[in-house]
Structure 1
Amino acid sequence: MLTGKQRSYLRSLTNTLEPVLIIGKNGVTENVIKQLDDLLEARELIKIKLLDNSGLSAKEVASEVCDILKSQYVQSIGSKFTIYRESKEPLINIPK
């Protein structure tokens, strides 16, 4: 579980990130989960965008994805959300 200080630090890192995955009208499928798992292992911190035609809210999808992938919710703004999961070889030094 991330502390407020850790979440704040990760939010500061997301300002420069572009969405690496776009979820469309099919929603969260097995293929999307597989891609997210690979991206989290490679990058640790990723931003995802939901298309307007998906009919889903960013917080709902973020919650679902975090439960499935055992990752941490960082933030959501509009149709974008950010999640974090430490990889086997950590890339980001999060303050304690």
Structure 2
Amino acid sequence: MLKGKQKRYLRSQAHHLRPMFQIGKDGLSATWLEQVEYALEKHELIKVNILQNSLVEAAEVKEYLSENSDIEVVQTIGNVLVLYRRAHKVAHRKISNEVAAL
């Protein structure tokens, strides 16, 4: 669980990012989650955009992630979610080292 200071730092780091994934009319799936987890292993912090034609809401995405993974939702603004997970490989841990220091 992230502290408030850590979430603020992550939000500031995510500000300039563009959404890396989209959720469309197909909704959420195990394959989508695998791809998000792979991207988080490399980047640790990503944005996900929920398209207008999607059948899922941001709250449903948060619930799905909390039930099926250890990914944390740092921020939700409209249909854009900021996701964070510490990388398992030490070589990819850039942001998580900063977060741990806070």
* TM-score, normalisation: structure 2: 0.87
Q: SS in structure 1 opposite 2:83?
A: strand
Structure 1 residue aligned with 2:73: 73
Letter in 1 for 2:32: V
Distance in 2, matches of 1:62 and 1:13, equals: 20
Q: Percent identity?
A: 36
Secondary structure at 2:53's aligned position in 1?
Answer: helix
Number of aligned residues: 96
CA RMSD across the alignment: 1.2
TM-score, normalised with respect to structure 1: 0.92
Question: How far did residue 91 of structure 1 move?
Answer: 1.6
Q: How many Å separate the matches in 2 of 1:47 and 1:41?
A: 14
Q: What's 2:6 paired with? A: 6
The alpha carbon displacement at 1:62 in A equals: 2.4
Point out 4+ residue stretches in structure 1 off by more than 4 angstroms: none
Structure 1 position 66, deviation (Å):
3.5
Deviations 1:55-81 (A, max 9, x none): 322132023123312111100101100
Amino acid at match of 1:91: K
| Residue segments in structure 1 that go unaligned for 5+ positions in a row | none
User: Secondary structure of 1:54's match?
Assistant: coil
| Structure 1 contact 63–73 (Cα < 8 Å) conserved | no
1:69 partner letter: S
